[in-house]
Structure 1
Amino acid sequence: MTSSAPKKPAGRGVAPLPKGARERAPQVLASLERLYPDARTELAFRTPFELLVATVLSAQATDVSVNAATPALFERYPDAHAMAQAEAEDLEPFIRRIGLFRGKARNLAALARLLVERHGGEVPDDFEAVVALPGAGRKTANVVLSNAYGFPAIAVDTHVGRLSRRLGLSVQTNPDRVETDLQKLFPRERWVFLHHALILHGRRVCMARNPQCGACELAAFCPKVGVEA
């Protein structure tokens, strides 16, 4: 395999960082480290292939629903070679309870075939190669490369984007530009931890609706306390 770290998203014409973002960032990181010292992905996986499949399935779905579906799926299709023999209709019964399951089944069948054809059935540790797979994108590539291969990366999902704006770390709504802002503010060696911790905080405290600002340890320096971002 040819190792390739995630490429930086394009940053031309990007708005500047919010006022005080560089001062808040160390406070945010320190608080998250106290709250979630062992933060990691909540997707269950044993191999890079399982992580790739689970991440594709997790789009617009909960990790809980994905983790409920994948054990039976992986028992029947343990690797890309096995899944490459399947049609989308064969995969659908395993993921029927996951949102957008028909489209995801098509993507998984095509993805597995491309892994076999282009990469010998292995998930490449190359950013552009992962992005080129059906159903994958920048977020998926960042998740796979950081969790399976240890590359420093920040995967921006809805939680990471929402908290970045609420905490005054970015004004961007485009995930790629949020990623760029966070990369400017936090040490490279803490990028993987950061995105996992922000996701956990977004699920447990700083929810999209009814955020628990009164119980939030980040509220003291959060410029959006009680305000929807």
Structure 2
Amino acid sequence: MKRYMYSVLLLSVMLITWEVMARLVDVSFILPSPMQISIKLWELKDVLLQHHLPATFAVISLGLAISLVLGIAIAIAMHYSKVLEQALYPLLITSQTIPIIALAPIFVLWFGYTIWSKVAVTILITFFPITIGMFDGLRSTDKELKELLQTFGLTRSQIFLKLEVPSALPSFFSGLKVAVPMSVIGAAIGEWLGAQSGLGYFSRRMMTQFDGAGVFAPIVILSFVGIVLFIVVLIIEKYFLKWRKK
């Protein structure tokens, strides 16, 4: 707990400063105070938690699941095929140079206001760090250890499972820790531009009503979801990387 003391202190100072400034300016439709946001969050808790949060969480879950399968598969393919690496790696980089905000409306045209338009945005924004993390991890495998295992007669699949995968896990989890918060952002962007439910959609609806506190209330929940998911990844990482020194 002591290691987080300075973070908690800094956050408290920021919130107090925000509260004071918001009260001085007194334009709640633009800059609501933390207290006003908390009150609005309490008033809207039922509709946000029971209706909009499940819709957003479904987008995040599907997007992350597909990104994991897609990212790991592409990373393994590039690791074992130089031709695929040369063909796919530039495309991966290019995919991240296109503004997501520009592609989101296109996904809405393709998939309509269904969940898949939001999932597509989430996949596009999350599969890159997962893919690159896994690929770099596989590529960082100790070549001398690999040659040693080959002299012992281990097959290619055995070397992959016993050496390359464990070697790739630290980099993979680093990429996953980047992807998880980004999945929340991707889901919110998708819902902001085209949805009928979800926290991003609700925030946008509140904006059209000039309800500043209503805009911030779902954002607080989105932030909390991102923090919880990040902690879950940390717990899983700690379990699989018990051998790593603290």
Which bracket does the TM-score occupy, shorter chain normalised? 0.3 to 0.5
Larger radius of gyration: 2
